[in-house]
Amino acid sequence: MNSVFHALSDGTRRQMLRDLTRGERTVSELAEPFSMSLAAASKHIKVLEGAGMIRREVRGRTHLCRLEPGPLASAHEWLGFYERFWNDRLDALERLLREEDLHTSKAKDPDRNTGG
């Protein structure tokens, strides 16, 4: 999991993953939007490969990359725990604030308490 989050920590690699959601790309195609050398792009790709997030296939002189979604799904599942944790906390805060608003509005409008 550490290698996945390390790979995702870089904006260039996140964009490369986004590009790969539309299908296979060559190293050149992945490098193109960043105006970077093939060597620099290859370093990013190696990080993504190391995290298991992409697979590179060599066809002649062409290196084709494709997305491997499994590690992203694992990271999403791990983050899901914290999403539920924070949603529960925020729901509790919302309930507390609504109760506080109700008590405040009753205190400001005494007729509301007596029905009259």
**Going by CATH, does the domain composed of 2-68 fall within 3.40.47.10?**
no
Residues of the chain with pLDDT under 70: 110-116
Per-residue confidence (pLDDT) for residue 115, from 0 to 100 = 54
- Is the pTM higher than 0.75? The answer reads no
Nearest one of 44, 38, 41 to 7, comparing CA atoms: 44
Pick left, alpha or beta for residue 76 (phi over 0 → left; psi -120 to 50 → alpha; otherwise beta): alpha
H-run or E-run covering 74 = helix 70-108
Per-residue confidence (pLDDT) for residue 110, from 0 to 100 = 64
3-state helix, strand and coil shares in percent for the chain, rounded to the nearest 5: 70, 10, 15
Per-residue confidence (pLDDT) for residue 56, from 0 to 100 = 94
What does the pLDDT look like over 85-94, one tens digit per residue? 899 899 999 9
What does the pLDDT look like over 3-18, one tens digit per residue? 999 999 999 999 999 9
